[in-house]
Structure 1
Amino acid sequence: MLIEDIKVSYREIPLHTPFKTALRTATEIESITVTIHLANGVIGKGEAAPTWVITGDSAQSIQAALEGPIKTALFHQDIRHFQTLLTAIQNSCVGNTSAKAAADMALYDAYSKWLAIPLYQLLGDHQPIYTSMTVGVDDPAKMADDAKKWVEAGYSRLKIKVGAKPELDITRITAIREAIPADVLLRLDANQGWQPKQAVQLIQKMEKIGAGIEFIEQPVKAKDLDGLKFVTDHVQTPIMADESVFSPQDAFTIVSGHYADLLNIKLMKCGGIQNALSIANLAMVHRMPCMIGSMMESSFSVGAAAHFASAHPNVIYYDLDAPLWLIEEAEVIDYQGEKLYLSSSAGIGAVNESEK
């Protein structure tokens, strides 16, 4: 069953509310869609979102990789050589993890549609998913109000963005903690915004006041593995590596040296589902749990991540609220409060007629 055509398109999707982190403020996202057309009419879809400050990928570079070396690697190949094609995507060019992720998920989508099963069934079992909701970095009072709003909407886990103006972070967390019930879990994401000693001081203060922090993501710069390990070794709160982990090789370094307690897997960082599986499997061997996260991206690519996460036993944390920040209605995922329901149709979900 040959791949007869590969098409690439571009669109912009506005956010209904600005999304603020220590690295950037987003008011819209760019999304690049790739569709793989099989000879029998089956269409596989994948999407990528450029995030300059994390992956280094732009919309232009994603499109160029998809229309160039990745298309060359897949065009007129047989979908029945599925694993070989997944590897060909990864070997088609250096870097370009977002473009590879889009092509990877399109291939997974096409293959599971060809088999007439949902993607999660191809990958394994299907377990429930409960996402956290993000509170963007802002002044303490605004963040406390936002946190209260999301708790009232039914979220029992909040991801709190910190790291911008670290001197305010204790005040931010104190304000949020005072505004919401004690049983609501807080997950902090510093987005590389702290220095190692500063991170230890801040986290120890939060531990002392009983801030109820479940874990903290990427407190220091991505390349500062010694700093990451310093923080991990000097606090009681679990530390999660995010921007420090792009590839299975990065994951091996983190888990073998115990630079962190947890890993955050994102398809745009690691190049797609194939590498996400490798990272989750590797971490499972070392008894290091994982979270599935996403960039600010479309519901379709987040849906692909959710299929992967729901099927893997070592992915036990979920941060998949990105589509809820977009003005368009989510596809392939049904959000019912904090619980996600995946499409039971074949593949990741249906492809609209306008996208064929």
Structure 2
Amino acid sequence: MSDLLVDGVDTVLLDVPLVRPHRFARTGMDAQPVLLVQIRTAGGAVGLGEGVVPGGPWWGGESVETMKVVIDQYVAPLVLGRRVDDIAGISQAVNDVVNANLYAKAAVEVALHDAWARSLNVPVHTLLGGVSRTSVPVTWALGTEPAAVVIEEAMAKLDAGHRSFKLKMGAQEPPDDVRRVCAIAEKLAGVAGVAGVAGVRVDLNARWDRLTSLRYLPALAAAGVELVEQPVPAAEVEWLAEINRALPIPVMADESLRTPSDAFRLASLRAADVFSLKTTKSGGLRATAAIASIAAAAGIPCHGGTSIESPVGTAASLHLACAAPAVTWGSELFGPLLMREELLTTPLRYSGGDLHLPGGPGLGIELDPAAVAAFTRR
């Protein structure tokens, strides 16, 4: 069908302001740069995808600027003239020309799925096998600010229905960081009044080494922290396995988990009790679904992670999280809530601490052209 042929690939850079600065172990930001990708078909369908990284190239080596160059100069020529439903063939052609660059590839792959689904007048999750759920719980991520600041923000989110919080660590010396997190965890437990009502997780963003982790993480478990995310560098999977065996609470893999091969290795070593899925870091919906299937076969629950996506990338991750049976450990799909302005004509629906799957074809979202124009980088 000629209607399915791709006849346009457009990219544009946006800078979307945040409601408050968001800090990681190594860096921070007060606006999120976003690469918006639009793929048009001869039949008039327009698919959306998003290239975004959490705070810049420190995480995975890519930035929105590098993504734009790679897509415009190398990927778009391989996509033009191909059928939008030939995702496997297009991905192989791209992989033959472009190594790595998984964030850039994810933006294009998601846009292909959106355009194809819109051409069929079905939601993206239909292309992924249908839904296992229609909403996912959302963990609210807090920054590396002092305990009093973080507790104040957490109290407001408790009132809004959030019951799970993730604290960033690694910006301070370990003893100071541990004292800060223990104070926050104990305060939230006291306010909630019932164990498990306000869960606290921590994310080290691969900042600590093996001995620091083994020395300090048990204190967090004793204070009521329920999960530790990626304490050690991505390549140190054996360290991660040792830490996972030593702790009475789950360890979640993020930086160590980007490809299905990574998932197989982590599962074989029992290096993590939970997998953090991100369509962005893994190159798109299909690879992420494969990781979720490996996790399910190994009995490892999955969590819907975030790269602080706009509503476009968040909607894509939501379709994946709702389609993958293994995603039973909630999500962090809070990106749009951290952004000061709305990019969609109808916002994604957050209620009761959950993010709900939108209806309609494709990703189920429509961009607000005025908002896109307002935040386009000049």
Counterpart position of 2:66? 61
Greater Cα shift, 161-170 or 151-160: 161-170
- SS of equivalent residue, structure 1 residue 141: helix
Of 326, 335, 338, the match for 1:322: 335
- SS of equivalent residue, structure 1 residue 270: coil
Q: Shift of residue 138 of structure 1?
A: 1.4
1:157 is the counterpart of 2:164 = yes
Counterpart position of 1:186? 200
Counterpart position of 2:100? 95
Q: Shift of residue 201 of structure 1?
A: 2.4
CA distance in 1, matches of 2:45, 2:104: 21
1:77 is the counterpart of 2:82 = yes
CA distance in 2, matches of 1:334, 1:90: 35
Q: Deviations over 1:164-203 (max 9, x none)?
A: 2122233222321332214211111111122222212222
Q: Shift of residue 53 of structure 1?
A: 0.8
Given that residues 89 and 104 in structure 1 are in contact (C-alpha distance below 8 angstroms), is that contact kept between their aligned partners in structure 2?
no
1:125 is the counterpart of 2:131 = yes
CA distance in 2, matches of 1:309, 1:199: 30
1:349 is the counterpart of 2:364 = yes
User: Where does 1:1-356 land on structure 2 (aligned, <5 Å)?
Assistant: 1-50=4-53, 51-123=56-128, 124-127=130-133, 128-165=135-172, 166-180=174-188, 181=192, 182=195, 183-208=197-222, 211-316=223-328, 317-329=330-342, 331=344, 333-352=348-367, 354=369
CA distance in 2, matches of 1:289, 1:12: 34
CA distance in 2, matches of 1:204, 1:350: 43
- SS of equivalent residue, structure 1 residue 315: coil
Given that residues 136 and 160 in structure 1 are in contact (C-alpha distance below 8 angstroms), is that contact kept between their aligned partners in structure 2?
yes
Unpaired segments ≥5 residues, structure 1: none
- SS of equivalent residue, structure 2 residue 37: strand
Q: Shift of residue 227 of structure 1?
A: 1.8
Given that residues 57 and 96 in structure 1 are in contact (C-alpha distance below 8 angstroms), is that contact kept between their aligned partners in structure 2?
yes
Q: Shift of residue 318 of structure 1?
A: 0.8
Given that residues 144 and 175 in structure 1 are in contact (C-alpha distance below 8 angstroms), is that contact kept between their aligned partners in structure 2?
no
- SS of equivalent residue, structure 1 residue 295: coil
TM-score, normalising length: structure 1? 0.94
CA distance in 2, matches of 1:336, 1:90: 40
- SS of equivalent residue, structure 2 residue 281: helix
- SS of equivalent residue, structure 2 residue 280: helix
Given that residues 85 and 112 in structure 2 are in contact (C-alpha distance below 8 angstroms), is that contact kept between their aligned partners in structure 1?
no
Q: Shift of residue 90 of structure 1?
A: 4.0
TM-score, normalising length: structure 2? 0.89
